[in-house]
Amino acid sequence: MKRQEFIDTLRERLSKLPKEELDSALDYYNEIFLDAGEENEEKTAEELGSIDVIARQLYVENGIDPDGDPAYFIEKYNGPKAQQGQQFGQTQQNFNNGPQAGPYMQNGSFPQQGYPYMQQPAQKGKLKVGSIIAMVLLFPLWFPLLIVSMVLMFVLTIVLFSIELVFIAGGISCAIGGLISIPSIPPAGLVFMGGGLVMIGIFLLTVKYVAKACGRIFLGFFGALTDFGQKIFMEV
Amino acid sequence: MSFPISSGLLDALVLAVISNSDTYGYEITQLLRTAVDVSESTLYPVMRRLQKNGMLETYDKEFQGRNRRYYKITEIGLEALSNYKREWTEHKRKVDQILGEGISA
């Protein structure tokens, strides 16, 4: 098998990987071929071994079932590999307890298997009981803060709307007042009317953005609140 | 005959090779091949995982008009390596004890 054929087959076989992972893997194997030299492509492909094995290993590493089974349990793949890992099982077990543990060591649920290859699929949506208790106990501390920040948010939006209100109401009344007084005091009437129209203009130009900004403040606030809540209460 | 190599030991070997000096995929496979029967197929996922766990970092360097990805060990990687080394020494001692005479220390 030549380089291109190997890469193409691998790409096809790894199609379920996220793009970043796929690119990284293909780049790696491409580089191996180039470094091994063009004249050695057949030999290199042979040494690289079975594409199927590569693909399966990468899928397992990425928590994807190599056979496309939706109800995928990583334990299934621990069988034959675990036997292999047994030999140094104790060694790895000790590592699992070490403080230097990488992410894959944190869940010590493969004590006997001790096969660091095997990453447990990420468990999402699990509640942290400790955090909930802490939050309930700390209620007097964070609740006033929450209320204050919500009040501040309301004040901010009300102020923004009031400014807009001043512009539109002041603008309309100045324009009408100016128009009425043009016959009696023409200069003053014109000035008032002009000023009024300018204010209406400012209102028309800014009202859209102010409304948008207020919406964003609210959405942003509640978005940040939910994110924060998720971070505190959910185990990732 | 050859002994099957465990993943933990392979991690340690990869970390050891890279801790000597920054190096690239092909060179790592060639170096490891002198000691263990391992094909690149099992190496890439290992290095990718070590990278994801923050034990390795990569950077690209141009070589003959193309990219070459170099691997560099991190602080976390060095720490893990020293732990692996300690564990390995202990493991070897125990195995040697059972295998008995004729094993040079």
- Residue by residue, DSSP assigns A212-226 as HHHHHHHHHHHHHHH
CATH code given to domain B7-99: 1.10.10.10
Q: How far is A104 from chain B (nearest CA, A)?
A: 8
Q: Does A123 map to a domain?
A: no
Q: Which residue has the tokens 């991690």?
A: B11
- Give the pLDDT score at B2: 65
Q: How many domains does chain A have?
A: 2
Residue A154 lies in a domain: yes
* Shared-domain flag, residues A194 and A136: yes
Among A106, A123, A149, identify where a domain stops. A106
Closest chain B residue to the Cα of A104, Cα to Cα? B53
pLDDT (tens digit, 9 = 90+) per residue, A10-48? 999 898 888 888 999 999 999 988 888 888 888 888 888
Mean pLDDT of A54-80: 65
**Residue A223 sits in the same domain as residue A135:** yes
User: Could you tell me the residue range of the domain that residue A198 belongs to?
Assistant: 131-235
Identify the closest residue of chain A to B67 by CA–CA distance: A31
Are A187 and A225 in a shared domain? yes
- The whole-number pLDDT of residue A108 equals 37
Of A105 and B69, the structure prediction assigns the larger pLDDT to B69
A165 occurs within a structural domain: yes
Give how far Cα B59 sits from Cα of A29, A155, B51, Å: 16, 50, 12
CB distance A22 to A14 below 8 Å: yes
Nearest to A47 among B40, B46, B69 (CB): B40
Do B8 and A114 count as a contact with CB atoms less than 8 A apart? Answer: yes
Q: Are residues A71 and A146 in the same domain?
A: no
- pLDDT, mean of each 10-residue run, chain B (105 residues): 75 93 90 74 83 92 89 94 94 89 58
Query: Could you tell me which residues of chain A have a Cβ less than 8 Å from any Cβ in chain B?
Result: 21, 24-25, 27-29, 31-32, 34-36, 47-50, 53-54, 57-58, 61, 81, 84-85, 87-92, 94-95, 98, 100, 102-104, 114-117, 119
What residue spans define the domains of chain B? 7-99
d(CA A83, CA A115): 10
Calculate helix-pair angle for A89-97, B7-20, nearest 10 degrees.
70
Chain B residues within 8 A of A1 when measuring between CB atoms: none
- Look at B3 and A53 and tell me if their CB atoms are within 8 Å: no
Cα(A89)–Cα(A85) distance, rounded to whole angstroms? 6
Choosing among A26, A78, A95, A107, which should be mutated to test the B contact, i.e. which has the most B CBs within 10 A?
A95
Tokens 């057949």, located at residue: A42
pLDDT value at position B3?
A: 72
The ipTM value here is: 0.84
Question: Are residues A102 and A11 part of one domain?
Answer: yes
**Pairs across A and B, CB distance < 8 A:** 113
3-state secondary structure of A190: helix
